[in-house]
Amino acid sequence: MVGPAQNPFFLKFPGPIEAAAHVAAVLCVGMVLAAVAQPIFTDDVWWHLALGEAYLQSGPWLSEDPLLFTATGPPPPTSWLFDSSLRAVWNVFGFAGIRLLHVGLVIAILVLAWASFRRASRNAAVASVCTALMAVLSAYRLVQLRPHLGTIAAALLLHWILFSKPEVPSWRRALVAILVLTVWANLHPAYPIGLALVATASLGLFSSSFLIDSGGDPASRARAIRLGWIVVLGFVATLFNPLGVDGYVRAFLTGTGSENVAIVIDEWSRIELFAWPTASLPPSRFNWISAWLLVAIVPPTAARLLWARTRTAVQPQGSVDPVLIVLAGVGLVMMILATRFAWTAFWPILLLASAVPGAISRRGHSAVLALIAIVSVPGFYLWGDWPMVTRGMPSSLTGFRTPYAAGKYHAHAVSFMQATKLEGNLFGRYAEGGFQAFWLGPAVRTAMNGSLNMSNEALAKAFAIRERIGTPANPRFEDALDDLGVDLFLGTGLPMETRAGRPPNYSTIHLENASGWVLVFRNLDSAIYVRDDERGSRNLERVADYYLAEGVPFDRTYGFQPREALRAAPEWSRAHGIGSTLLDVRANSGQAERRLGPIAMVYLALGMYEEAEAANDSLLRIDPMNVPALRRRAWLLLRPGERPPRDEVVKALRALSRHSAIDYSTNMLLPMLKSVIDGQPIPAYRTQVAPALTRQEARWLLRSMSPARPLRD
């Protein structure tokens, strides 16, 4: 008969307290899996899919970067196996296939974690609670369909093969571990973590073997030597990847911050133990509190276990493996150093799970276990990763069937570029570069994406352009675009307040009325500009032909005019996000006064400033202290290139300063109004990104436009 000591999946009928722990754990894991199953969440999946197609066609050694025009060379094939496998699944099964693959990978990771916790604790309730904790702490990583899932799965599999039992691993297990390391080396550039874990375990075992007596512990030394051989052979095996030794060099540079990946704040931000985390950015407050608890509990537990090990020459059956003590320390340090390593909480939690088998049978400890699981549900929901990973999660089954949130990627504008067959070098948002290259390449290449296969100099230029400022060599914004080699510019967003810790997210008017650029498309939250040169001339011909076929007015000299499109082609305008339901009000309906504010917002977002001013002034005549209208009037007065009358600015400043609640947008506008009154120049980039709308007003405005549809090949 097989018992719990032999079968890690052995279950017994739980009591009420253990049942409560299981139920709460299932709720936590279920929430994580629901977030994983949502329409594609991560922005990087697009460039991984695009590179995957290139790898399938040409192999891992590409001659150039097919996605970026700023690249200094071909992309490093650090995750070529993952990318090509993901693209192969997409080619056969589409988005449904890769979403199912994602869910399957996360389930496999959590099953591996549960089995490890079950074997270490010899208690199913403990295993469930520990798995739930690991799931909620690493939710931000699990929800993203990226090659790091291969690293998490490989690390847990390596642990199961080599460390789940405190014995010398057989050569068969050693060979399987080396095979895992070899595959890992072609899945994700973090594969040196695997060898580092094995090497750390070997050194820890060798050192701990001398804690028992002066003669040492032969069994621990034999195990350490076997692990050392696995490190040596594993290193040789991992060289069988396209980068060879250079893969280790790149991993070292990334780990020391010598590469520009350190700028990715949701990857490399650390848990600052003495600073309360920002609400909208990882690490979450739940992770911060959990890190503090682990820091407070794990080191004393490890010290106690090591001390107990030195007190007797014969280790009792079921004592904690010294390898686990070492790995718990490594995991704790890694999860604090970078949010991308939140999943390494697996080892500190595993150490605690290993330390409880003797105590968990007591009812008080079981109640504490259940309480931890129950508190984790609201903790994850309110203060954990849940708010960050579910911002755009649909609330209906129909929404879940959608492959991705098209509005998030400004698909109206990308669809227009696809329909008009535009060509050239495109500058857009960093987060949307992969999406744009996936749907528009190879005719269109983007300035940046999550691969960051570009020099630090090019990246600095791109980020300066994003914030509407020039570069040291080219202070003028348009000159900075010329220097980078941009042919197409996709401005996006609404003039709204930004989240704490985030850069300005509004670039729609960055090239408004700029010399040498022609506006070819604009809707409520995006605008496309084409350079007016020889290459741009071909693009403008394609745009003119497209508009002629659609019956939409377009002038190559003055560019696209939203007011003319609304008048001449209302159905086309509505379908492309130019029209708004907020405009569908009859002038004599009696509701026009209540709709003047929303109408003014629509016109402001479309660049129809005369109409926006007229609607806003009509509203202020009815309600002189309407704060949103006062804010919009201030924003319109501060438009770049405008020289408003000083008395109008004074009037706007006094009116806007009079209301008691100073919101974020108003707080940004007031100093600029004062500068105008004092005759001080305001940098163009400040007025270009100044907010005119609250987040609630922006959401209301976006809901009024026709939703963008997912693109098709």
Most confident of 115-124, 260-269, 342-351: 342-351
Three-state DSSP state, 446:
strand
Decide if pLDDT at 358 tops 60: no
Examine the domain organization and report whether 245 and 363 are in the same domain. Answer: yes
The mean pLDDT value of the chain amounts to: 89
Q: Is residue 66 one of the residues assigned to a domain?
A: no
Identify the domain containing residue 611 by its residue range: 581-703
Q: How many domains does the chain have?
A: 3
Q: What is the mean pLDDT of residues 313-322?
A: 63
| Residue 460 included in any domain | yes
Assess whether pLDDT exceeds 90 at residue 278. no
- Point out the least confidently predicted range of 106-115, 252-261, 492-501: 252-261
pLDDT tens figures, 639-693: 877 778 888 999 998 888 886 556 778 888 888 999 989 888 888 778 888 899 9
Percent of the chain at pLDDT > 70 equals 89
Summarised one tens digit per residue, pLDDT across range 406-446 is: 999 999 999 999 999 999 999 999 999 999 999 999 999 99
Same domain, 438 and 383: no
Q: Give the residue, 72 or 90, on which the prediction is more confident.
A: 90
- Domain end, chosen from 362, 389, 416, is at 389
- Residue 697 pLDDT: 92
pLDDT at 8: 47
Residue 261 has pLDDT above 80, yes or no: no
Give the domain CATH number at 596. 1.25.40
* 306 and 443 housed in the same domain: no
In single-letter form, the type of residue at position 704 comes to S
Residues 680 and 666 in one domain: yes
Residue 51 in domain: no
* Structure-token pair, residue 208: 């701990």
What is the rounded average pLDDT of the residues 16-38?
Answer: 93
pLDDT band at 474 (very low <50, low <70, confident <90, very high): confident
The reported pLDDT for the residue numbered 464 is: 86
Q: 259 with 343, same domain?
A: yes
Residue 661: half-sphere exposure toward Cβ, Cα within 13 Å: 5
Percent of the chain with pLDDT over 90: 65
* 711 belongs to a structural domain: no
Q: Could you tell me which residues come within 8 angstroms of residue 125 by beta carbon, excluding any fewer than 6 positions away? A: 14, 17, 18, 21, 22, 360, 366, 369, 370
Amino acid 312: pLDDT:
56
348 with 471, same domain: the answer is no
Question: Do residue 541 and residue 644 come from a single domain?
Answer: no
Domain annotation covers residue 370: yes
Q: Look at residue 96 in the predicted model and tell me its pLDDT.
A: 96
Indicate whether 383 and 237 sit together in one domain: yes
Q: Is the pLDDT of residue 172 over 60?
A: yes
Same structural domain for residues 454 and 341? Answer: no
pLDDT of residue 265: 57
pLDDT digits (tens, 9 = 90+) for 374-408: 999 999 999 999 999 998 899 898 999 999 999 99
Pick the residue with more confidence: 591 or 266? 266
270 within domain boundaries: yes
3-state secondary structure of 79: coil
- Give residue-wise pLDDT tens across range 199-250: 999 998 888 766 655 445 788 889 999 999 999 999 999 999 999 999 999 8
Does residue 383 sit in the same domain as residue 331? yes
* Contact between 434 and 46 (Cβ < 8 Å): yes
Is-above-0.85 flag for pTM? yes
The answer as to whether 399 is a domain residue is no
Closest CA to 527 of 547, 544, 512: 512
User: Is 323 within the bounds of a domain?
Assistant: yes
Domain edge (last residue) among 558, 575, 592: 575
Identify whether residues 254 and 140 lie together within a single domain.
yes
Least confidently predicted of 25-39, 528-542, 665-679: 665-679
Buried/exposed code over 325-339 (b: 16+ C-beta within 10 A; e: otherwise): bbbbbbbbebbbebb
What digits encode the pLDDT tens for the residues 695-712? 899 999 999 999 998 997
Average pLDDT score over residue span 580-584: 86
Are 124 and 243 within one domain? yes
- The C-alpha atoms of residue 149 and residue 188 are separated, in whole angstroms, by 9
Q: How many CB atoms lie within 10 A of CB 468?
A: 23
Residue 310 has pLDDT above 70, yes or no: no
Q: Residue 360 above 60 pLDDT?
A: no
A 10 A CB-CB count for 76 gives 18
H/E run at residue 606: helix 592-606
What's the mean pLDDT in 605-609? Answer: 96
Are 208 and 324 in contact by the 8 Å Cβ rule? The answer is no
- Which domain-ending residue is among 330, 361, 389? 389
